A = this chain, B = another copy of it.
Amino acid sequence: MASKKPVRASTCPINASLEVLGDRWSLLVVRDLMFAGYRTFNEFLNAGEGMATNVLTDRLAKLTDAGILTKKPDPEDGRKWLYGLTRKGLDLAPVLLELSRWGTKYEHGIPPAGVLDAYEADRAGFLGELKRRHG
């Protein structure tokens, strides 16, 4: 299925997104790349939510295959991979920020100080800065 164009049960773009993103682990990996600056397997693995190694391996492959992540050998250690976000991956920022807002309001989540206010005050500026940082 991976590199073939998937056959979907509907044309709904919400469903299409959720089919690609799968379960919560995928979005947590994107979060770690986007906001924590993590780049390596071990950094994702130790991010705090207890992801299993086999799940992480699977999600990294799926996200790379879906064009959400890039993957290249670490110049300092050729046995390791460094992951990055594509433009498609960076464009998940509004989804993550809205999940953060909802989880802060309703599920006792604690966001990094100032992030949601900065996004609310100037969405375009916030997203532009995020892209510059990951450029």
Contacts and interface: CB of A to CB of B under 8 A. Distances in A.
A18 B28 contact: yes
Contacts of A102: 13, 17, 91-92, 94-95
Interface of A is mostly: helix
Contacts of A10: 47-49
Chain copies in the assembly? Answer: 2
B49 A109 contact: no
A39 B24 CA distance: 26
A9 B49 contact: yes
Given A18-B28, A94-B98, A95-B99, A107 B13 contact: yes
Given A94-B98, A95-B98, A95-B99, A15 B104 contact: no
A122 interface: no
A24 B27 contact: no
A113 interface: no
A111 B13 contact: yes
A132 interface: no
A107 to B, nearest CB: 4
Contact of A9 (B12, B50, B108, B109): B50
A99 B17 contact: yes
Interface of A: 8-24, 27-28, 31, 47-50, 67, 88, 91-92, 94-96, 98-111
